[in-house]
Structure 1
Amino acid sequence: MIIGELLNSSRKSIRSLIEGQNEAALLEIAQSQVAAGADYLDLNCGAFVKDEVERLAWLVDTVAAAVDKPLCLDSPNARALAAALPLARGPVMINSISAETARYREILPLALEYKTKLVALCMDDEAIPTSAEARYAIGARLTEDLLAAGISPDDIYLDPMVQPIAVSARGALVIFDTVRLLRNNYPGVHCVCGLSNISFGLPNRRLINRYFLAQAIACGIDSFILDPTDRQLMGCYVASRALIGEDKFCAKYLKAHRGGLFAE
């Protein structure tokens, strides 16, 4: 699954468009991601600390009315999610729940009420663990709790918490090891990550993102929050899926080739 990341208020240009309620420009970005192959569109208004509730509701209503793709509501704020979920029109994903006590308690009822998919962060009330074993332990506990609460395994998207390799040299290896543990023990759930986090603070970020994507797919991550308008990145995604046997007769690869995805 590809979740388009571009409509995020942490980007100054997007924040400005949301502030000005520039529907035309925001919808152009949304539609460009759909055209590039996004399955879901991530919507984030977290930069608006004081009025996130109103901003997210407006953005969800605006995009849902014009774009025929499911939305991923990106907020830890249960009040913002509660206001936006009724406006989503169709399947929806919440990004995100975690093992943090308050966050879990506030967001789980919304997921159950609206029957959403859930990005579930491998973190709890302590700091993000540095080891794969500790992240796996949190992910396993979170998975068991969500399953017991009635969430379908197919609606659980475990996020191993990608951190920049610029500050955590072995960060990518921890991700790969965490995902392997999760996949071996919970094969029915999904694994997702925010791809571009890996390259934060470094030059030539797109190169790092592409190589990380290929390795992440090989270790078992099946869903990504990324920029689908990066053609080389999407080409890497399609080719990598074919290499792990997820593209029968390379049909999707050949379709992408005929569509010009790999053209220089």
Structure 2
Amino acid sequence: MLIIGELINTSRKAVKPAVEQRDAAFIQDLAKKQVEAGAHYVDVNCGTMVYNEVETMEWLVNTVQEAVSAPLCLDTPRAEAMEAGLAAAKNGQTMVNSITAEKERFEKVLPMVLKYKAKVIALCMGDNGIPNSAEERITIVRQLIRDLTAAGVAEDDIYLDPLITPISTGEKFGLDVLETVRFIRQEHPRVHAACGLSNISFGLPNRKILNQAFMIQTMAAGMDAYILDPLDKAMMGFVYASQALVGQDSFCMGYLNAHRKGLYE
């Protein structure tokens, strides 16, 4: 199970001013807390810094790496910012977030994935936009795996994101994701499945409950990577419990360690 800490994102109210003011101590403390709470990767996203994203990405990567040894997940739609972040990243195998099946996006991002030997999150989205069904998602999954592996990307470095859409806008959208994840796990067992969870509950009350429940369902279906807030103790508690229940926690050691650390108090 791979946990990607999502908190270093300039769309967050507390983070944007810290980045604008180059408050390294704030950013480094946030990175440390996420790793200490169980994040294996630290996501770095400065996409709201429209006018200086390239310079900001480089600063963030260097600043975070001074504080933690965990590898980084670089989250940007801008190729120049991605290139700057990848060039600066030194901690282990960096992750690119993200590539899609869209022709232009694929052709821009793929060379960087290959150049830096990065892991890559591949969104199940093509030139026609976000798919409306599990069938459409599975078609894009096949295309992405085919094209990425043909280019030389190892299956183990591919993290397919089925693109969660809010169940408030369609009652079958949760089921579409589960069906897609089951297909990935059954047909391509060496490829990973990854997602953020919060979109499933958009527009509804008690969002944390829905997010937690969907995490449990998706893990049972075969999801093995999440972009989430590792400082959310309740969510992390369900992560460890779910891993134990689906046989991904040898002798329940992860669950027992979480218990001993007081996560369930």
In which range does the TM-score fall when normalised by the shorter chain? over 0.9
Amino acid at match of 2:207: R
Moved more, 197-206 or 109-118: 197-206
SS in 2 for 1:12: coil
Structure-2 residue corresponding to 1:45: 46
The match for 1:215 among 214, 217, 239 is: 217
Task: Look up the match of 2:16.
Answer: 15
Counterpart position of 1:115: 117
SS at match of 1:55: helix
**TM-fit CA distance, 1:100:** 0.8
> 2:6: which partner in 1?
5
SS in structure 1 at match of 2:48:
coil
CA contact (8 A) 2:133 2:173 kept: no
Q: Which amino acid aligns with 1:115?
A: K
Contact map agreement 1:153 1:188 (CA 8 A) in 2 = yes
SS of the counterpart of 2:169? coil
The residue that corresponds to 2:193 in the other structure is 191
In 1, Cα distance between equivalents of 2:242 and 2:65: 31
Shift of 1:257: 0.9
> Equivalent residue of 2:186, what SS?
helix
Q: Deviations over 1:87-141 (max 9, x none)?
A: 1112210000111111110111111111100000000111211100101110111
- Which secondary structure does the structure 1 equivalent of 2:65 belong to? helix
The equivalent of 2:26 in structure 1 is 25
- Counterpart position of 2:159: 157
Report deviation, 1:168: 3.0
Q: Equivalences for 1:199-238 in 2 at 5 Å?
A: 199-238=201-240
**Whole-angstrom distance in 2 between the partners of 1:200 and 1:49:** 25
Q: Give the root-mean-square deviation of aligned CA atoms.
A: 1.1
The letter of the residue matching 1:123 is: M
Query: How far apart are residue 199 of structure 1 and its match?
Result: 1.9
Output the CA distance in 1 between the equivalents of 2:130 and 2:61: 30
Structure 1 runs of 4+ aligned residues shifted over 3 Å read none
Alpha-carbon shift at residue 200 of structure 1 (Å): 2.4
SS at match of 1:2: strand
Distance in 2, matches of 1:222 and 1:60, equals 25
TM-score (norm. length: structure 1): 0.97
Amino acid at match of 1:35: E
Asked if structure 2 preserves the Cα contact closer than 8 Å seen for 1:64 and 1:87, the reply is: no
SS of alignment partner, residue 66 of structure 2:
helix
In the TM superposition, residue 21 of structure 1 has moved relative to its aligned partner by: 1.1
| 2:122 alignment partner AA | A
Structure 1 stretches lacking a partner, 5+ long? none
- What TM-score results when the alignment is normalised by the length of structure 2? 0.96
Q: How does 1:52-91 map to 2 (within 5 A)?
A: 52-90=53-91, 91=93
